[in-house]
Structure 1
Amino acid sequence: MAKISPLMDQYFGMKEECGDALLLFRMGDFYETFGPDAEIAARVLNITLTSRQKDKEGNRIPLAGIPHHALDAYLPKLVAAGYKVAICEQVEDPRKAKGLVKREIIRVITPGTILEPSMLEEGSNNYLASIVEDDGKIGLSLLDVSTGEFLATELLATGGKLSTELAKFRPAECLIPRSAESLVGDGEGMMVQRLDDADFALVGARARLADHFGGERVERWGLPAHPAAARACGAVLTYLQSARLPALDHIAEVRLYSPEDFMVLDETTLRNLEIFRNIRDRSKRGTLVDFLDETTTPGGSRTLRKWLQMPLLSHEDIERRLDAVEELVGDPLLRADLREALRGGGDLERVVGRTSCGTASPKDLRALKGSIEGLPRIVAILTAARSEELVRLRERLEIGPLGEVADLIGRAIADDPPSAIREGGIIRDGYDPELDGLRSLLREGRGWIARMERQERDRTGIKSLRVGYNNVFGYYIEVTKANLSAVPPEYIRKQTLAGGERFITPELKEMESRVLSAQERSASLEEEIFISVRREAAAKSREILERGEALGELDVLVTLAAVAADGEFVRPQLNDRGEISMRASRHPILERAMRGGFVANDVDLDGRSNRVIILTGPNMAGKSTYMRQIALAIILAQIGSFVPAAFASISPVDRIFTRVGAYDDLSAGQSTFMIEMTELAKILSSATSKSLILLDEIGRGTSTFDGLAIAWSVTEHIHNRVRGKAVFATHYHQLTQLAGVLPGVKNYNMAVKEEGETVLFLRTVVPGATDRSYGIHVAKLAGVPEAVVARAKEILREIEGEAVIEPLAGGPRRRRGGPKYTQLIFFQEPKPRAEGEDGPGFMGEGHAPTDGGGVEILKEMRDLDVNGLTPLEAINKLSEYQRRLLEDSDGEN
């Protein structure tokens, strides 16, 4: 067995300590990786893989390294690839080390514990989630380490509420117990860490929470009454300790929240409405948050996302925000002054996060000072504000004790300090007497050396004599070969060069010792002073975070007012009658993109006669846009924003459900239709009378009769049982008959203007139903070959005229039905006819059974308790009727 070196023995000890993390092992000017870690690093970072000495088995050890100064460039790539990374630093000066340099793991970086600005998106939170199941409930906590925001809640273990919360907050990393493997899977963009069950134990969690926050504060927040949430929070604190974060003073509060206090927007709805990411490339472009985000601070951008994630339900809270927005809309000067004062204010929350964790740079502290010093100006501007919310923000933004922090930073830190602590030049002259003395000595030393060079040239007559310095030999006197004969005897030869020699003198070495000692002590003292100032700032973390949160909220209110003023939005009136009424409603994003070409439409939904809208009309006419703009207006209203309309009266909804568009999830083995039915099942089981349901083309993924049966039954279920508000866009024109049967159903359609062969989509919603889809016209617009379009028109005329379709390539004739032959006329009596007459019957003309089977089925249908059927029972009944009718028809033929 081969013997490994002490260095590699130290490395393997550190590797065992950091577990499954990639270990970046500091060796001089490089971070090195060894073994399997090196192979991963070489592949992910595209760096050279080499090898060094053999391991205990005699195999060469793979090696790959990166320069220590390039860590910020390489580290994000490793974390983005899904790896935990442990940083092992040299914690003593190699020049002073006796034997092996001492090293320690100073930090373990994971997707949910990132503090580095280069790895974080300014306008988005970076949450670390923790999930545990406890007695039928799920405890969920969400911590953004970079800002200190700590949320917790409890959810029922059933009903899919957990997936909704995860979709809303999109954590970067998630902690679960090892025994709960099925609690959550590896979701998109989320690393799942499975920890020991002991890390989630309630007793330990309570102790950790009390130790960090204080038992009295934990009691005041109500955590003891929510054991599942407390267990999740405790696991997070344990995990942060393992990440080696040195201090967490900025994590000052756990906020318990209830999802029932906010509108629920599940993953499907967020996707279909393109709130945060568009459907095309999953980027921010073209989304609602992209449209609204004119904030001037990173904290404002994050606050806007939170408001969109959690629209309010409370009329009082919504009205308070609307009052503030209205005041800012009506006072352009106030709005402009606030935007200017907020601009360039920095990111208070993340700067104080780095300050608390001991990673803030000198430039961070200067930015912190600037942000604090900008508060009095904002407070002064808000003196003129009258709305309750703006007055409250003014009080929260008072500078208070933070003035002392800004003053300390101003006195201690230079105006334009370097980013790195060890570079020197951080501390301002005049702040520390000892540092001033060392700097004076350094200046005198450098001046002395320059004087010595001149004196020695004069004394020796060697005009090319030079006093220099390098890290190996220190200060030296260099003389060329041509002048060596003139070198004084007291010079001590130190190094021979190709073109001359280098010498030292006792006097020079004494000054070198003084200068280098002063330089080393100066750098060390600057670091000590900076850390002390940073610690003083960190002691005010809670107060700084409170102001940072208030700045973010003010930024969002000013932004919503600016968007409303620019877009001519109107303040929505809130009602408790279940009504959603808008005049000249617009889709805000499309309206901006179309630059004035967007067609506005009215909306009328209530809890009585206009509860369900059946929306018919051609493809491309704007049905989906109409539904989406209703949903977006409601979301805007419930975050406290004005809405794009000439008038709006809105009753807050508890949930918005959408089933818009179709896609396959082949990786999960699910077809479009299966996904559609799964989402539909979730809607029907979760919707309430206060929900808004938007359905687009339900049932199109199966046969005509199956799809129509499902669509019909779903509409009845929403009307009769859910009793929520719904818009159902469909090409099943048969559904329009429900308006004559169900009192809360109304028909609307997208208006079309026909001029000969030309069809013009007016994109206007008008009352009434349509019985045409204009699909052939759309096919022509899409570039389908003219021959195919012409043949389609011919077939359509034959179907509508009850003609027999002649196949293109011969073959037997097949008799088709009459106009809209797939339509089920559920409430039409069969017409009496003479013997042998082939007249219209239950299935339309040309499909009437001749043996009375249709009459029998119609009688059964008349006696059927439709309202007492479940959707599945209704579908089965319709399938049975269809089978019996087809059997009758086959028997005749």
Structure 2
Amino acid sequence: MARPRKDGKKSSGKKETPLMKQYYAIKAQHPGTILLFRVGDFYETFGEDAVEVSQVLGIVLTKRANGAASHIELAGFPHHSLDTYLPKLVRSGKRVAVCDQLEDPKQAKGIVKRGVTELVTPGVTFNDKVLDSNRNNYLASIHIHNTKQVGVAFVEVSTGDFFCFSGNFEYAEKVLQTLSPSEVLVSRSEFRQVLQHFGEKLYLSRLDDWVYQYDYAREKLLDLLQTTSLKGFGIEDDKIGTIAAGSIVHYLNETQQKNLGHISRIYPFDDSEFVWLDPFTIRNLELVHPLHPDGKALVDVIDQCLTPMGARGLRRAILLPLKDIQQIQKRLDTVETFLKHQNKLHELVDHFQQLGDLERLASKVATQRINPRESTLLRDSLRQIAPIQHTLQSFDAPILASKADSFSDATPALSVLDKYLLEEVSANLMDGQVIRGGVSEELDELRAIKRNGKDLLLAMQQREVERTGITSLKIGFNKVFGYYLEVTHAHKDKVPVEWTRKQTLTSAERYITEELKDYEEKILNAEERIQTLETQLYQQFLHQMQLHLHTLQHNAKVIAELDMLLGFARVAQSRQYVKPIIQDDDSLDIKQGRHPVIETTLPADSPYIPNDIQLDNESQQIIIITGPNMAGKSALLRQTALITLMAQMGCFVPADAAQIGIVDKIFTRVGASDNISSGESTFMVEMNETAQIANNATSKSLILLDEIGRGTSTYDGVSIAWALVEYLHETPSCQAKTLFATHYHELNELENRLPRVKNFNVSVKEIDGKILFLRTLKPGGSEHSFGINVAAMAGMPSTLVKRAKNLLKHFEQNRIDDKQSAKSVKFSSKPTVQLNMFELKDADTLKIRNILAGSDIDRMTPVEALLKLQEIKQALMD
């Protein structure tokens, strides 16, 4: 019977090769992981791994003999192509273990020792080819405590950011979708619950349940943070969040992440200081991802950052706008100061263009993954800090002087870099030419030998000639004896006694000396010894640099914020943005506002048409906007939200002027899409998003609604839209500032019923049956949709358009309005007219209304109800 192997597969029972035995032993330690197994100059994969790898990478799948056992699938690639193929595997959702040779094959006795040197997962990597320099790559962990509470933690191993929190499922889902972790850890027993609550879009990795125990998780956190208490980090009382955070530390250890000195703090995450943006709003406003492949997101337009950490900070600022007026004002004042001093602004740009990714370089120092070329980039970046400080101080503005003072002193770290590293270094440590001269006398001597070997031998030869008087003496070399001194027989009596004879020739004798053997060893082994010494010295350098990690990380954060604000100034200058006025009230007043993205995509001869928007909670809380499709209603809604969001980021805005009362939440219900995978229709998705708004809005929120109710019947849709407007107007706890774009002209009636509702329309002109979009917002409701005109513009067949116009004319002739006599309108075999459901005045309806007037439905018995129904029936038959 075949015996099971440790990796869970059955062995054939036949003898396997030593190499494959070693492979299976290592593979068994990493189940569910692609094992890249170093064999000579190649990384090889075997069996099921090989099949997967060949499919993902598009490389040839072959077979390899496995001793007496059967053949096994094989796929591999050259070791120097690791940076090409590893990112493809990780981005396809694979966990990858890199197994390297741990000894020199030339010196190995038997099979070469191998071991996993790195385990790369979607959420745990330092590889620049895998990471997006402009985005954070978060690893998250979820711990479900009960039906109401869940703990979540996030870590960014490439930067050292680490935070956790606990809350309800809705809050956890919002944060998860906002920060979009690349990988999420869950316990095996909670896997299905996580899928149920958070959907299937997350990349989930399962851990054993015992990892999610409080005592174990707390111990792992304390070990990482080198402390005895979590009180100083503000999470001591958050046991659920602590469990999630501790499981992350466990996973980092499990994935061979041993040097984690850059993760020295953990923060309690609290988004109460940020504007609430639910997942629908982030998607609908296209903040970081466009809805269409050829579209642009907000970040694509306003990102003028000069460093990767600035770009990452910008994305966080977009997704987490501020609510604190003082913080917002500081950002705006900084941007304004930059714009007032153009020459100095350009000086800063020059300095920032020479900066590397200081944040991720610091993490590479901590994990000892930084290569020599990256170390010089780190040094070049630190050298720019002093000039940046000097330029900031030259603005003669207190707000920038404080920024200059906020840097930590980088001189000690620079001293270490200057001490160890040459100005120009090779990319690979093994290539030599990394460590500066004067650090090691032995290294300096070996380099001199390697560089001047022949000269040193000639100098020795000349010295021995002068010492011994043997004028014919010469130094030679052969593969048998190495270096030797050759003396003709005529002078052999002058040979010193300390020389050792090695060979007698016909006309000469060959000798060696201790000095010559020393030089021979140094010359022949200089290169190898140089590599060894430089590696040792480079490790010393890294150990010393780790003492300055806090300085590197702190300065990276200061630079990231400055870079973002510098980018705000540059985009404001190029796009003619203005400084918004931020107020602690409920007003929103935008003069000649523009959509920041759309205006960049229009042809030069088609400028964007700006508009004014004014909202408050006293006289104009809700604006109902009517107008035809393509008139610009949706763009107007989105630009209002984007201008508000940009202002609370601390960015200038696309408008002539803007006064922004702080909002706490921004909600959008714009566009429609099915969620087929979850069995949800367009209408269900719409209602989910609308319910989210109704349940979470406050009086300080901003709500944007576009075509609510259009996914169902007309009467249902109008009813829902009408009720929603009433709810937002009449419910004190959620009287939010609202823009409501609609085709339901019935909603214009609300202006007469609700004092804070106002009607506006996006104007158009009709000329000879064709419409001209003016895209200007004007007071008053619109009575025409111009849908048929838009259909004609879209290229509908002319016969179809003509038929639609005839039907429309027929319907309008039979529409009931105040000028018509009150009589019912009936169509046999014709489509039913859409009546104004809130002003029904036909005779039948009036009869029913009169019969029911005064009836108390709640107290009516079943018999009385039947009698009343009979009365209505009789009245309609008369």
Superposed pair shares fold, TM > 0.5: yes
Letter in 2 for 1:710: I
Which residues in structure 2 correspond to 1:822-837 (within 5 Å)?
822-826=834-838, 828=839
Residue-pair matches, total = 801
Letter in 1 for 2:738: A
Q: 1:422 to 1:788 in 2, by over 3 A?
A: same
Letter in 2 for 1:534: L
**Contact residue 163 and residue 266 of structure 2 kept, 8 A:** yes
Report the secondary structure of 2:843's partner residue: coil
Q: Distance in 2 between matches of 1:858 and 1:310?
A: 54
Deviations 1:192-211 (A, max 9, x none): 11111222221122222222
More displaced stretch, 619-628 vs 527-536: 527-536
Letter in 2 for 1:276: V
Q: Quote the offset at 1:354 in angstroms.
A: 1.1
Deviations 1:88-133 (A, max 9, x none): 1111112222222222211111011110112111111111111112
Q: Quote the offset at 1:815 in angstroms.
A: 5.8
**Contact residue 577 and residue 607 of structure 1 kept, 8 A:** no
Which residues in structure 2 correspond to 1:205-604 (within 5 Å)?
205-215=217-227, 218-281=230-293, 286-385=296-395, 389-398=399-408, 400=409, 402-445=410-453, 514-594=522-602, 595=604, 597-604=607-614
- Sequence identity of aligned pairs in percent? 36
Q: 1:405 to 1:850 in 2, by over 3 A?
A: closer
More displaced stretch, 585-594 vs 111-120: 585-594
Q: Distance in 2 between matches of 1:17 and 1:387?
A: 59
Q: What's 2:617 paired with? A: 607
Q: 1:233 to 1:196 in 2, by over 3 A?
A: same
Q: Quote the offset at 1:514 in angstroms.
A: 4.5
Letter in 2 for 1:431: V
Q: Distance in 1 between matches of 2:141 and 2:156?
A: 12
Letter in 1 for 2:691: A
Letter in 2 for 1:430: G
Q: Quote the offset at 1:59 in angstroms.
A: 2.2
Q: 1:803 to 1:324 in 2, by over 3 A?
A: closer
Q: 1:374 to 1:437 in 2, by over 3 A?
A: same
Q: Which of 673, 681, 684 pairs up with 2:694?
A: 684
**Contact residue 847 and residue 875 of structure 2 kept, 8 A:** no
**Contact residue 803 and residue 816 of structure 1 kept, 8 A:** no
Letter in 2 for 1:107: E
**Contact residue 368 and residue 406 of structure 1 kept, 8 A:** no
Q: Distance in 2 between matches of 1:612 and 1:888?
A: 41
Q: What's 1:481 paired with? A: none
Q: Distance in 2 between matches of 1:428 and 1:854?
A: 97
Q: Quote the offset at 1:570 in angstroms.
A: 2.1
Q: What's 2:650 paired with? A: 640
TM-score for the superposition, normalised by structure 2: 0.86
**Contact residue 249 and residue 539 of structure 1 kept, 8 A:** no
Q: What's 1:199 paired with? A: 211
Q: What's 1:455 paired with? A: none
Q: Quote the offset at 1:511 in angstroms.
A: 7.5
Q: 1:397 to 1:189 in 2, by over 3 A?
A: farther
Q: Distance in 1 between matches of 2:525 and 2:831?
A: 102
Deviations 1:798-842 (A, max 9, x none): 1111299xxxxxxx944667xxx423352x4xxxxxxxxxxxxx3
Deviations 1:251-300 (A, max 9, x none): 1211222122211112111111010010012x7x5111111101111111
Q: 1:108 to 1:785 in 2, by over 3 A?
A: same
Q: 1:450 to 1:597 in 2, by over 3 A?
A: farther
**Contact residue 222 and residue 230 of structure 2 kept, 8 A:** yes
**Contact residue 748 and residue 767 of structure 1 kept, 8 A:** yes
Q: Distance in 2 between matches of 1:796 and 1:468?
A: 105
Letter in 2 for 1:98: K
Letter in 1 for 2:417: I
Report the secondary structure of 1:88's partner residue: strand
Q: Distance in 2 between matches of 1:421 and 1:231?
A: 40
Q: What's 2:786 paired with? A: 774
Unaligned runs of 5+ in 2: 1-12, 461-475, 484-501, 817-826, 859-864
- For the pair 1:7 / 2:19, whether they are aligned, the reply is yes
Deviations 1:132-184 (A, max 9, x none): 12354222211111111112222223xx2122111111111111122212343
Q: Distance in 2 between matches of 1:373 and 1:780?
A: 64
Q: 1:429 to 1:386 in 2, by over 3 A?
A: closer
**Contact residue 176 and residue 183 of structure 1 kept, 8 A:** no
Q: What's 1:852 paired with? A: 847
Q: What's 2:117 paired with? A: 106
Q: Distance in 2 between matches of 1:446 and 1:80?
A: 52
Report the secondary structure of 1:397's partner residue: coil
Q: CA RMSD in A?
A: 3.2
Report the secondary structure of 1:319's partner residue: helix
More displaced stretch, 228-237 vs 612-621: 228-237
Q: 1:552 to 1:856 in 2, by over 3 A?
A: farther
Q: Distance in 1 between matches of 2:704 and 2:154?
A: 30
Unaligned runs of 5+ in 1: 453-465, 477-488, 493-503, 805-811, 829-841, 866-879
Report the secondary structure of 1:33's partner residue: strand
Q: 1:298 to 1:889 in 2, by over 3 A?
A: farther
Q: Distance in 1 between matches of 2:845 and 2:443?
A: 109
Q: What's 2:6 paired with? A: none
TM-score for the superposition, normalised by structure 1: 0.84
Q: Distance in 2 between matches of 1:736 and 1:2?
A: 83
Deviations 1:330-386 (A, max 9, x none): 222232222222112111001111111111100011001011111000100111346
Which residues in structure 2 correspond to 1:25-104 (within 5 Å)?
25-54=37-66, 58-104=69-115
Q: Distance in 2 between matches of 1:409 and 1:803?
A: 83
Q: Distance in 2 between matches of 1:889 and 1:226?
A: 69
Q: Which of 799, 808, 815 pairs up with 1:787?
A: 799
Q: Quote the offset at 1:491 in angstroms.
A: 12
Q: Distance in 2 between matches of 1:474 and 1:151?
A: 65
Letter in 1 for 2:101: Q
- For the pair 1:137 / 2:145, whether they are aligned, the reply is no
Q: Distance in 1 between matches of 2:178 and 2:118?
A: 29
Report the secondary structure of 1:100's partner residue: coil
Q: What's 2:808 paired with? A: 796
Q: Quote the offset at 1:52 in angstroms.
A: 2.2
Q: Distance in 2 between matches of 1:355 and 1:733?
A: 64
Q: What's 1:871 paired with? A: none
Which residues in structure 2 correspond to 1:619-658 (within 5 Å)?
619-658=629-668
Q: Distance in 2 between matches of 1:724 and 1:505?
A: 99
Q: Quote the offset at 1:440 in angstroms.
A: 2.4
Q: Quote the offset at 1:505 in angstroms.
A: 12
Q: Quote the offset at 1:447 in angstroms.
A: 6.0
Q: Distance in 2 between matches of 1:207 and 1:759?
A: 70
Q: Quote the offset at 1:718 in angstroms.
A: 1.6
More displaced stretch, 345-354 vs 21-30: 21-30
Q: Distance in 1 between matches of 2:187 and 2:481?
A: 57
Q: Quote the offset at 1:529 in angstroms.
A: 0.8
